[in-house]
Structure 1
Amino acid sequence: MSAAKAAHVVALKATPHSVAAEQALLGALMVNNRCYDEIAGQLTPEHFYIPLHAAVFEAIERIINTSGVEANPINIAQQLKSTTFNAQNDLYPHLSSMFENAGLAGDIKSLAQVIQTTSIQRQLMGLSDSLKVEAENADTRERTQEVIERAGDALYRLTSSSTAGTMRPLRDSLREMYAQAELAKRAGGGIIGIGSGLVDLDKLLGGFQRSDLVILGARPSMGKTSLLLNIAHNAAKALVEGKPHGAAVGVLSLEMSSRQLVQRMAAGAAGIDGQRIASGQLTDADISRLAAVTGELADLPIHVDDKAGMSVQEMRARARQMKRQYGIGLLVVDYLQLATSPSKRSELSKVQEVSDISMGLKQIARDLDIPVLVASQLSRSVESRENKRPTLSDLRESGSIEQDADVVAFLYRPEYYLRQQLGAGSESTAASDSERRKLMELQDQIEKLKGVTELIIAKHRNGPTDTVRLLFQPQTTTFHAYAAR
């Protein structure tokens, strides 16, 4: 045996594959075409190691799905007539041999698993080789990070391909739908997803649903981050208390550090003014309350990653890690416009970049089968009009945010804008009694609307839209159900 031939044999043995499994499976399919239904969507021609076997499998699929005739050796040979495998002395005898030995096929699902597993092993080996080359050439921190992100994406695709295909019988989806309907009935119109801890919001949405992308839009100072943290805290607390609508929560904070987030959560839980914590102006009673809630918060399944300017690939990788390591059932992102898209920023307009990010976040929700709750800035056009309640057109550099989102909610606090009006004038500068009366009326309105917040559900793909009233306490940066007033 020549050295080249010997090297080829060694390589063949070293590459994971099973010729016997491929032949047995193809033979079983030719003998009984109905066996194809058992593996439809699980195998593709690319899973086969022998090129001829890949071509035969592709021909079987084509015949069964389109021609309406039997996929037997004669018809398969006819299908491959114009390919490189049409040699009569090679193709037909091989097909006939597989057909005749189909009695050794055994369990076709087990054979499919063998073929799929060896294919994944080969892909892993190829990925390992390519990553080695890329790692050797990654001479900067940025290029190294790109290699890490590509590796994470490739590994996740391999993980996904090792499970059943995305093609599913309608009966399976109907079964899930019916189970969901029964759950909703038992809940009596209550929570069937992940609860927010805000009664009226949960009643309207039924909780945050799996694979949904939920956008929370608002202008600065409306309380976006506070509401996200309140929801995260409530969901995690519900899980600890054993409630079915609770969940472990992953938080990707692109703006605030984890220390700042924790300070806000602790202030809200302890009922202490957050500014007093930051400035150190705490009483002994404050310290006691803070110590008590610190122990409670430490036990909550909330996991924070505060890297600034994460790309969609980085968010996906971190979310997968949180799902795998901590079993998160809700992902919170603060906020969308601070993320970066997969493509270089200079190559895209801001609208295109935000569209890429929103599509990436929706894909995370679908891949992990969890709700993803994302804060989003609104354009300044809100400030330039008389009615400052946000609408869908106000989503900043909106791109496809509205299209990708399953739920779009807006925060609006009338008190905030009334205080701006009050700041524009004062009793000392009011020139007349009528102006002073207007200022007094404005002060009365502010007092009546103190803390009142409108959460406007502007889009709800699977349910009604409405406005939910909340109560905001700015000192502790917490939201409560309006009934608490």
Structure 2
Amino acid sequence: MSFAQPDLARTFERIPPQNVDAERVCIGSVLIDREIMGTISEIVRASDFYVHAHETIFSALLALYERNEPLDRITLAEELKRRGALDRVGGPAYLGTLVNSVQTAASAAYYAKLVREKSTLRSLIHAGTEIVQTGFEAEEDVEGAIDRSEQMIFAIGQRQMGGDFSHVGSLMKPALDELEEYYYRRGELSGVTTGFPDIDAVTTGFKPGNFVIIAARPGMGKTSFALNMAMSAARAAGQPVAFFSLEMSNSELVLRLLSSTVRISMHDIRRGNIGDKDWGRIPKVMDELDTLPIFLDDSGGLSVSELRSRCRRLKATRGLGAVFIDYLQLLHPSSMQRQMNRNEEISEICRTLKVTAKDLGVPVIALAQLNRGVETRNEKRPMLADLRDSGSLEQEADFVAFLYREGYYNKEAADPELTEFIIAKHRNGPTGKVNLRFEAEYTLFQPYGDEANYPAP
């Protein structure tokens, strides 16, 4: 009789984890009690069986069960014969042995769990072997190798934890705890602050697991807005904030932070036109920035899987409160094995970022570029249809907002600094508009008086 995964035995010169008796009991239980298949099939898969014959037999039983046919020695033998596998698994005699090895199916679920546990241990050994091989392959990029290794282990852990329905009654206590927290924190934010009171009043802060998109055409101040938000989040929560800049260098980002904090224009900074008074303030501001848990990453050509891997490591070593990405369309997809069009690439990136937000339990705030079509029409306020490259940006996001400044297009605008923060999608709240002021010379966004304008929920 042949055994599954023989490479493991050859690699380590040891018999891999297995429980052949438990496998026999699982199959025998199904053959004496068809209904037990519903329970066992939720615990084990055919590939979990160590003995090849058992894997083949269980696969045939699953096919019969799904066709709503009887599960007994006769129907099983016919199905295996149809597949040309009856003699290979030991013939009708071995099927009879499986039936005779079980007196009752009462403990079938217990033995199924044993089979799955042994399969999980073999998967760990296999993953370890793959990770070792990956480490020896010189052509592999290190970040990609680490991410693939993490994914292999993570997938095994997710399978082991499993999943099931939750009765609504069992969810009442956690829901009540959450309601009480909201009740006693009335007026306080329940998520990560944006730093702008009028926006926070609408969002109540971005929540763990939120995938947030803030989009605009070039020149609207996307990067400045995200940096302002990142500083506010780091100050308020005291938790590390990751800021991925795929367009600007870390040094340029730090100069922008200094400009907005000291209120020295970027033009004057680059020219060295800094007065003695301002120069004297810079060390104090730098000391303040040094205390903020903001972590910048300006790696170019970053893939979304590499970004996720770096976020995981930051959370494991220092903690993590929020992730900012500038900007989404500059990320590369993880799947490079096949040719994908741009829509497919952006769809994969969006799905991965959404899963990352959920898995890490933090909001992921991604900047995005809008289509050039905005420039060709008279009404230049952005709409959801203007999101560039893919409808997945809108579908996957929990929150979508646009930055729009009329003064960018109309030099005679009444207030060239007035910037509209247009909330176009809000999964758990109202849409609408909040007015901000953009002081471009300082790369700084500010609240715009009492002119916030958004509808009631």
Displacement of 1:252: 1.6
Give the corresponding residue for 1:127.
127
Deviation string for 1:437-478 (max 9, x for gaps)?
xxxxx3xx54xx243211001111232211112222223322
Unpaired runs of 5+ residues, structure 2, are 1-5, 81-85, 452-457
* Residues 20 and 186 of structure 1: CA distance in aligned 2, closer, same or farther (over 3 Å): farther
Q: Does 1:210 align with 2:176?
A: no
Displacement of 1:24: 7.5
AA partner of residue 392 (structure 2):
S
* Residues 91 and 28 of structure 1: CA distance in aligned 2, closer, same or farther (over 3 Å): closer
Residues 153, 317 of structure 1: 8 Å contact kept: no
Displacement of 1:388: 1.6
Give the corresponding residue for 2:273.
281
Residues 258, 306 of structure 1: 8 Å contact kept: yes
| SS at 2:442 equivalent | coil
Residues 256, 306 of structure 1: 8 Å contact kept: yes
| SS at 1:483 equivalent | coil
Q: Does 1:476 align with 2:442?
A: yes
Q: Does 1:453 align with 2:451?
A: no
Q: Does 1:313 align with 2:314?
A: no
Equivalent-residue separation in structure 2 for 1:186 and 1:333 (angstroms)? 33
Of 19-28 and 228-237, the range deviating more from structure 2: 19-28
* Residues 235 and 28 of structure 1: CA distance in aligned 2, closer, same or farther (over 3 Å): farther
| SS at 2:410 equivalent | helix
Displacement of 1:307: 0.6
Give the corresponding residue for 1:91.
95
Equivalent-residue separation in structure 1 for 2:40 and 2:234 (angstroms)? 40
Give the corresponding residue for 2:375.
383
Displacement of 1:233: 1.4
| SS at 1:464 equivalent | coil
Equivalent-residue separation in structure 2 for 1:88 and 1:222 (angstroms)? 75
Give the corresponding residue for 2:235.
237
Picking from 156, 159, 180, the partner of 1:158 is 156
* Residues 161 and 321 of structure 1: CA distance in aligned 2, closer, same or farther (over 3 Å): farther
Residues 190, 202 of structure 1: 8 Å contact kept: no
Displacement of 1:232: 1.5
Unpaired runs of 5+ residues, structure 1, are 70-74, 241-246, 420-441
Displacement of 1:256: 1.3
Q: What is the TM-score when the length of structure 2 is the normalising length?
A: 0.79
Residues 211, 353 of structure 2: 8 Å contact kept: yes
Residues 9, 15 of structure 2: 8 Å contact kept: no
Residues 61, 76 of structure 2: 8 Å contact kept: no
* Residues 347 and 51 of structure 1: CA distance in aligned 2, closer, same or farther (over 3 Å): closer
Equivalent-residue separation in structure 1 for 2:397 and 2:149 (angstroms)? 28
* Residues 408 and 19 of structure 1: CA distance in aligned 2, closer, same or farther (over 3 Å): same
* Residues 292 and 137 of structure 1: CA distance in aligned 2, closer, same or farther (over 3 Å): closer
Equivalent-residue separation in structure 2 for 1:465 and 1:16 (angstroms)? 55
Q: Does 1:407 align with 2:373?
A: no
Give the corresponding residue for 1:359.
351
AA partner of residue 189 (structure 2):
I
Equivalent-residue separation in structure 2 for 1:63 and 1:13 (angstroms)? 36
* Residues 29 and 351 of structure 1: CA distance in aligned 2, closer, same or farther (over 3 Å): closer
Give the corresponding residue for 1:433.
none
Identical columns (%): 33
* Residues 291 and 398 of structure 1: CA distance in aligned 2, closer, same or farther (over 3 Å): same
Residues 27, 102 of structure 1: 8 Å contact kept: no
Deviation string for 1:306-361 (max 9, x for gaps)?
11121122222222222322321321111011112235599333333323322332
Residues 31, 102 of structure 1: 8 Å contact kept: no
* Residues 77 and 269 of structure 1: CA distance in aligned 2, closer, same or farther (over 3 Å): farther
Deviation string for 1:89-118 (max 9, x for gaps)?
333443443546977x9x949x83x65554
Summarize the alignment of residues 64-213 of structure 1 with structure 2, pairs less than 5 Å apart: 75=71, 77=73, 80-81=76-77, 82-83=79-80, 84=86, 87-99=91-103, 108=110, 112=113, 115-133=115-133, 138-139=138-139, 146-162=144-160, 164-171=161-168, 176-188=174-186, 191-213=189-211
Residues 146, 309 of structure 2: 8 Å contact kept: no
Equivalent-residue separation in structure 2 for 1:381 and 1:264 (angstroms)? 29
* Residues 101 and 456 of structure 1: CA distance in aligned 2, closer, same or farther (over 3 Å): closer
Residues 25, 98 of structure 2: 8 Å contact kept: no
Residues 247, 300 of structure 2: 8 Å contact kept: yes
Residues 77, 86 of structure 1: 8 Å contact kept: no
Give the corresponding residue for 1:72.
none
AA partner of residue 226 (structure 1):
S
| SS at 1:295 equivalent | helix
Q: What is the TM-score when the length of structure 1 is the normalising length?
A: 0.75
Displacement of 1:46: 3.3
Equivalent-residue separation in structure 1 for 2:38 and 2:182 (angstroms)? 33
Displacement of 1:8: 6.8
* Number of residue-to-residue matches in the alignment: 436
Residues 192, 237 of structure 2: 8 Å contact kept: no
Equivalent-residue separation in structure 1 for 2:232 and 2:166 (angstroms)? 37
Deviation string for 1:9-37 (max 9, x for gaps)?
99684413344666688899999999999
Equivalent-residue separation in structure 1 for 2:301 and 2:251 (angstroms)? 17
Of 410-419 and 8-17, the range deviating more from structure 2: 8-17
Deviation string for 1:165-197 (max 9, x for gaps)?
243324355655554444444444753222222
Q: Does 1:368 align with 2:360?
A: yes
Q: Does 1:259 align with 2:260?
A: no
* Residues 137 and 276 of structure 1: CA distance in aligned 2, closer, same or farther (over 3 Å): same
Equivalent-residue separation in structure 1 for 2:317 and 2:427 (angstroms)? 31
AA partner of residue 124 (structure 1):
L
Of 272-281 and 367-376, the range deviating more from structure 2: 272-281
* Residues 10 and 215 of structure 1: CA distance in aligned 2, closer, same or farther (over 3 Å): closer
Residues 41, 165 of structure 1: 8 Å contact kept: no
Of 176-185 and 387-396, the range deviating more from structure 2: 176-185
* Residues 21 and 206 of structure 1: CA distance in aligned 2, closer, same or farther (over 3 Å): farther
Residues 32, 99 of structure 2: 8 Å contact kept: no
AA partner of residue 17 (structure 2):
P
Aligned-pair Cα RMSD in Å: 4.1
AA partner of residue 356 (structure 1):
E
* Residues 258 and 52 of structure 1: CA distance in aligned 2, closer, same or farther (over 3 Å): same
Give the corresponding residue for 2:454.
none
* Residues 130 and 344 of structure 1: CA distance in aligned 2, closer, same or farther (over 3 Å): closer
